[in-house]
Amino acid sequence: MTKPVLRVQDLAVTFTSFTGGLLQRRERQLRAVDGISFELHPGETLGVVGESGSGKSTLARAILGLITPDRGRVMWRGEELTGLGEEELRQKRKELQIVFQDPVASLDPRMTAGDIISEPLWTFYPNMARLQVEERTRGMMKVVGLLPNQINRYPHELSGGQCQRIGIARSLVLNPRLLVCDEPVSALDVSIQAQIINLLQDLQKKLGLALIFIAHDLSVVRHISDRVMVMYMGQAMEVSEKSSLYQRPLHPYTNALMKSVSIPDPRLAAAARQDRWLTGDMPSPYDRPKGCIFHNRCPYRVKRCEADVPALRRMENRDWVACHRAEELDLSI
C-alpha cells in the first residue's frame, strides 16, 4: 500500500461575526468545517459531495492554506502545511493547485488566455525565456483541448466551457501533484460538464495527480472518483469506496442525496419521486443540532442520536461512517 500523499487530520475552520446592536455586541461562531480527517494517495480521486452550507468549499481552501484553519493539521508528503510561514507556503503552490467553480470570475478580465495560463510560470521562473513560456502555454492549451490560436483571446470572448479549460490549464502549468477542483462543472451546461469531467479524468491518469473533486451532486462525482466523502454542515457523514457507496450507502443522508438526483428517464423518475423522504431545510449554522448533526431530519433516529455525537468510524469493509446505527441499517438503493 503506497503512502498517502495528503493527510488531513481534524481540520476545523470557524468564522466569527458579531450581532446585536451597539450596546449588546455578541460574538457568533460559524463552524464551517468541523473536524474533517481523510487521506489521499497519489493517483487517487476523492469526491467530496455536500450541499450549500456543508463547508466543502471552505475545506478546499483550508487544505491549500488559502484560509487559515483554527484546528487540525494538513500533511503534504510528510511535511506539515498548517503552520508554515507565508513565503514557504507560497513555494508549495507549485505542487498544490485549485480549479474554481465560476470559470469566468476566476479569470482576470483584463488578461488574455495566454497571460492567464503563463502567470504561474513568470511567478516562479521569472528568468524563463519568453519563447519557452509561450511554447509551454500553447502546449498546455492543446492538452486541455483549446486551440492554441486562441492565445490572445479575452475571457469575455469565450464560452464557459472554454474559460474553465483555461482555468485548468493555469492550474496544471507547473505540474502540480495535487489538484483540488471546487465544483468545476456546476456553472456549466450539462452537455459541457461531461467534456470537462472526461478531460480531468484523462489528465489525472496521464499526470498521476491526486485529485479532490468537489460537487453538490453525487452523480457528477461518480465517474471520476475512487472514494467519496459526503459532508453535511461541516462534518463528514461518510467516506466510502465508490463501489460500495453507490450500491449501499452507509449514512441516511447519503441515501437521501442519492434519491434526490434527477434521473433522465420519465418512468424511473416518477417511481423515484415516491421514494424521496428528505424534507425541510438544513438548520441554521448558528443553531446547530446537538448530538448527531443530522438527527433532526433523520427518519432512523433513536434517543441516542439526540445527545451523542457519532464519531467517524471504520466499518468492516473499510468504509467510514458517522452514524450510531450504521451496522443495523440497510440503506441499499
For residue 127, give the 3-state DSSP assignment: coil
Give the helix, strand, coil percentages of the chain, each rounded to 5: 35, 20, 45
Stretch that binds other proteins, among 13-21, 36-44, 160-168, 310-318 (CB under 8 A): 160-168
Stretch that binds other proteins, among 1-9, 70-78, 92-100, 318-326 (CB under 8 A): 92-100
**What DSSP letter does each residue of 224-293 carry, written as one string?**
T-SEEEEEETTEEEEEEEHHHHHHS-SSHHHHHHHHHS--S-HHHHHHHHHH----S-PPPTTSPPSSST
The CB-of-112 to other proteins minimum distance in angstroms stands at 5
For residue 304, give the 3-state DSSP assignment: helix
Residue 162 engages other proteins in binding (rule: CB under 8 A): yes
Residue 170 engages other proteins in binding (rule: CB under 8 A): yes
- Candidates 16, 129, 287, 328; binder of other proteins (CB under 8 A) is 129
Residue 248 engages other proteins in binding (rule: CB under 8 A): no
What is the rounded CA–CA span in Å between residue 203 and residue 246?
A: 24
The CB-of-231 to other proteins minimum distance in angstroms stands at 12
Cell of 258: 442519492
Residues 18-57 that bind other proteins (CB under 8 A): 51-53
- Candidates 260, 288, 289, 296; binder of other proteins (CB under 8 A) is 260
Stretch that binds other proteins, among 32-40, 104-112, 303-311, 323-331 (CB under 8 A): 104-112
- Candidates 83, 261, 286, 304; binder of other proteins (CB under 8 A) is 261
Cβ–Cβ under 8 Å, residues 142 and 134: no
C-beta of 152 vs 317, nearer to other proteins: 152
The CB-of-160 to other proteins minimum distance in angstroms stands at 7
Residue 309 engages other proteins in binding (rule: CB under 8 A): no
Q: How many CB atoms lie within 10 A of CB 172?
A: 20
